[in-house]
């Protein structure tokens, strides 16, 4: 799977969050300074060509939706980056500890994390 450029990723994040979008919906969600309509339209066309977005003609405009589920993209790219191996010597516990250290985890989040670990252990 192709890795996305920064602006492509920003646009895909919006599509994954909102579902079906028009170019104007995307522009509304992008940070200031807002890019020109034509710039966003060009990037969206590139994402369609790359197979990340579906395009449906509605009247005289197009509506876009994700062709690649967020989970698939995240799994693919986290695997490619191999964060655990690259930054934590292959240690899952060091990696989780690093990300949890700065967080003020709620009791529910801790239970959820333990549940995930236990399911993984039993698999």
Q: What is the pLDDT along the chain (123 residues), one digit of tens a residue?
A: 677 899 999 999 999 999 999 999 999 999 999 999 999 999 999 999 999 999 999 999 999 999 999 999 888 877 656 777 778 888 877 888 888 887 888 889 888 888 888 887 765
**By three-state DSSP, how is residue 100 classified?**
helix
Does residue 10 share a domain with residue 51? Answer: yes
| Domain CATH code at residue 50 | 1.10.10.10
Number of domains, the chain = 2
Q: Fill in the DSSP letter of residue 1.
A: -
Same domain, 52 and 88: no
58 and 108 together in one domain? no
- Domain housing 111: 82-122
How do beta strands 53-58 and 61-66 pair? antiparallel
3-state class of 82 per DSSP?
Answer: coil
Residues 48, 11 within the same domain: yes
Q: Does residue 61 share a domain with residue 101? A: no
């Amino acid at each position: 799977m192709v890795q996305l450029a920064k602006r492509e990723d920003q646009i895909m994040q919006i599509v994954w969050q909102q579902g079906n979008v028009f170019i104007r919906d995307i522009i509304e969600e992008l940070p200031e300074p807002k890019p020109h309509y034509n710039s966003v339209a060009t990037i969206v066309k590139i994402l369609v060509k790359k197979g990340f977005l579906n395009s449906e003609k509605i009247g005289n405009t197009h509506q876009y939706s994700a062709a690649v589920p967020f989970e698939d993209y995240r799994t693919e790219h986290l695997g490619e980056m191999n964060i655990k191996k690259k930054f934590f010597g292959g240690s899952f516990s060091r990696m989780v500890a690093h990300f949890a250290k700065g967080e003020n985890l709620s009791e529910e989040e801790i239970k959820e994390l333990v549940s995930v670990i236990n399911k993984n252990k039993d698999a």
